[in-house]
Amino acid sequence: MFALDAEQAHRATIRALGLLPRRGLPVFPPSLASEVAGLRFPSSVGLAAGFDKDGEVPDAMLSLGFGFVEVGTVTPRPQRGNPRPRLFRLAEDEAVINRMGFNNRGQASASERLRERPRRGIVGVNIGANKDSADRIADYVAGVAAMAPVADYLTVNISSPNTPGLRNLQAGGELVELLAAIAEARVLGGPPVFLKVAPDLEPGDHGPIVRAAIDGRIDALIVANTTVSRPPLASRFAGEAGGLSGAPLGPLALDALRTFRSAGGGALPLIAAGGIASADDAWQRIVAGASLVQLYSALVYHGPGLARRIADGLAARLAERGMASIAEAVGSG
């Protein structure tokens, strides 16, 4: 796969996953099961958004050992995304830079595909706004209506750096307005709604985001998306524009997680993403307050068996400490 251009390699991977024979869901050690936002997760290790943007292979990814899979980001209308190249492997840094720009076939297409799958295993849907949308809040409201019927949870993504201005929705009044509109669009008995934030916030931003999320009935916060910052990098692609993910994002995402944990005091469940590549990384996020973790970039460097290896490593850490469940470990550090 490393001989191919990064985006071609990704397409080939999705195609190959689509050809895998259907298998059942894996069985995880019982200690890994946990309840978050009213959903029962069989393992705390999930696939982050962006890998399966159009919801083509969620069941294959579940069967490979993820405890939950987040598809998307899907926007109301299909869009092509940014010109290529727009995806770069920074192998020396175990990192990725992407400026995909929400390339996806649109919500109607994803919803049709997801409607046909067996509803086994947790599949969340990450929703966003079209780049040329005149009313971004209306795009999220449309996303809730279109995707709630086929999603075990929804993620409101306001933290992609590749749609100009999108991250402004994280600021004060805009966020309150967005979350009020989303709360109104939700129907009784519908899926929980998570909010995905950037790792690049200013020190005073975390408290107001947590308050707006709680007031807006958000069920969990995903911390975090890719970063526009550039910690020291060795790869020749370091200067490419876009969001950086993978190992160098780890310390920033952990910092952001800790700040959100102290701002929320445990009142708002947290889901950690960013640079998680081992059971040690996952454990560190859990003891720092994450109820669940997600990963994407590490798959490129560590292969599809990674989710299962991390899950087994977490179960071993629980056993070593005499803990019966992940819930006991959350925020214990």
Ligand X SMILES: Cc1cc2nc3c(=O)[nH]c(=O)nc-3n(C[C@H](O)[C@H](O)[C@H](O)COP(=O)(O)O)c2cc1C
Q: What is the identity of the amino acid at 268?
A: L
The answer to whether 50 touches 273, Cβ cutoff 8 Å, is: no
Strands (E), 60-121: 68-74, 87-90, 95-98
Q: Which residues are catalytic?
A: 160
Q: Which residue number, 45 or 318, has a Cβ lying nearer to ligand X?
A: 45
Q: Which residue number, 79 or 226, has a Cβ lying nearer to ligand X?
A: 226
In the complex, least distance from residue 60 CB atom to ligand X, rounded to whole angstroms: 18
Q: What is the identity of the amino acid at 115?
A: R
In the complex, least distance from residue 320 CB atom to ligand X, rounded to whole angstroms: 25
Q: How far is CA 82 from CA 20, 51, 247, in A?
A: 30, 16, 24
Can you give the binding site for ligand X, defined by CB under 6 A? 48-50, 53, 72-73, 87, 96, 98, 100, 126, 157, 160, 196, 225-226, 245-246, 249, 273-276, 295-298
Q: How many other C-beta atoms lie within 10 A of the C-beta of residue 40?
A: 9
Q: Which residue number, 49 or 144, has a Cβ lying nearer to ligand X?
A: 49
**Closest-approach residue to ligand X (CB):** 50
In the complex, least distance from residue 100 CB atom to ligand X, rounded to whole angstroms: 5
Q: How far is CA 22 from CA 117, 118, 126, 295, in A?
A: 11, 11, 24, 23
In the complex, least distance from residue 250 CB atom to ligand X, rounded to whole angstroms: 7
Task: Give the distance from CA 268 to its chain's centroid.
Answer: 17
Radius of gyration of the chain (CA): 18
Q: Which residue number, 31 or 224, has a Cβ lying nearer to ligand X?
A: 224
Rounded distance, CA 26 to CA 121, Å? 10
Rounded distance, CA 49 to CA 245, Å? 12
In the complex, least distance from residue 237 CB atom to ligand X, rounded to whole angstroms: 13
Q: How far is CA 178 from CA 91, 141, 216, in A?
A: 38, 9, 9
Q: Which residue number, 65 or 246, has a Cβ lying nearer to ligand X?
A: 246
Rounded distance, CA 144 to CA 197, Å? 18
